[in-house]
Amino acid sequence: MTMPKEDTRTARILQGLENSSASVRLQAAIAVGTNPDPRIVDKLVERCAIEPEFYVRDALTWALARHSPSVVIPKLVDEIRESRRAQARSQALHTLSKIGDRQAWPAITRELLTDADDEVARSAWRAAVVLVPEGEEAELAGVLATQFGRGERETRLSLSRALIGLGKVMAPVLRAATANPDPRVRQHAIATERLSRDPGAEFDFAIEEAKRIVVLGPSGQER
């Protein structure tokens, strides 16, 4: 019996997503994104969890976003809640942020926003800012503020951008953080405040300026 043309195409894409060549996997992801096929959604989600190449993961996310949210979002939420792989959770969160459908908001828990893995937490911060319902921004800002001072440069910059993305509701938590007894928290909060006033500023410069303020005070005199 001859396999229907559509089944042949689906089988070819599924094989392509498993190919040892990154360029072949990329082309397979682009193909399914160009002509969405719900039968391949499970494989796309599965591949996101283990794909080693960033640009292929980006194509997988794009392909998932091209499908119906009603099909994709439940599978991504399951991945976030059930997978033990940090990459699986991080990429699922990243994909949710690209889809931008607020029906996924309940999946963005405090546990995810404070996850021990920096990549998972960063993805959760970005997704949360996109998905947060109107009226819940201040509560989200409060949770994000608990992460001030966390991690290295990229993690701190991601948190600053997330808080800035929430707008004016971040002001109270930012003021509180600038008075925190932990100097690393104060530095991060001050740098975030500088970036909020000047989005074009360099984060590294803002951090160095914040360190000076923490040590010397706003007047420039050592305390």
Query: Six-digit token pair at 122?
Result: 């960063």
Mean pLDDT of the chain, nearest integer: 92
What pLDDT does 1 receive? 44
Q: Tell me the pLDDT band of 200, cut-offs 50, 70 and 90.
A: confident
pLDDT digits (tens, 9 = 90+) for 24-33: 999 999 999 9
Mean pLDDT of 169-186: 94
Cα–Cα distance, 163 to 122 (Å, whole number) = 12
pLDDT at 132 over 70: yes
Q: CB within 8 A of 31, min separation 6: which ones?
A: 13, 16
Q: Tell me the pLDDT band of 22, cut-offs 50, 70 and 90.
A: very high
For 36, 69, 78, 222, the CA distances from 102, given in Å and listed in that order, are 22, 10, 16, 48
- The answer to whether the CB of 109 falls within 8 A of the CB of 78 is no
**Which class is 16-131 in CATH?**
mainly alpha
Q: Tell me the pLDDT band of 146, cut-offs 50, 70 and 90.
A: very high
Mean pLDDT of 72-83: 97
What pLDDT does 220 receive? 47
Q: Tell me the pLDDT band of 198, cut-offs 50, 70 and 90.
A: confident
pLDDT at 165 over 70: yes
pLDDT at 151 over 60: yes
Cα–Cα distance, 185 to 23 (Å, whole number) = 43
Largest CA distance in the chain: 85
pLDDT at 155 over 50: yes
pLDDT at 218 over 80: no
The verdict on pTM exceeding 0.85 is: yes
* Buried/exposed code over 50-69 (b: 16+ C-beta within 10 A; e: otherwise): ebeeeebbbbbbbbbbbbeb
Amino acid at 187: Q
Which sequence spans correspond to the domains of the chain?
16-131, 133-223
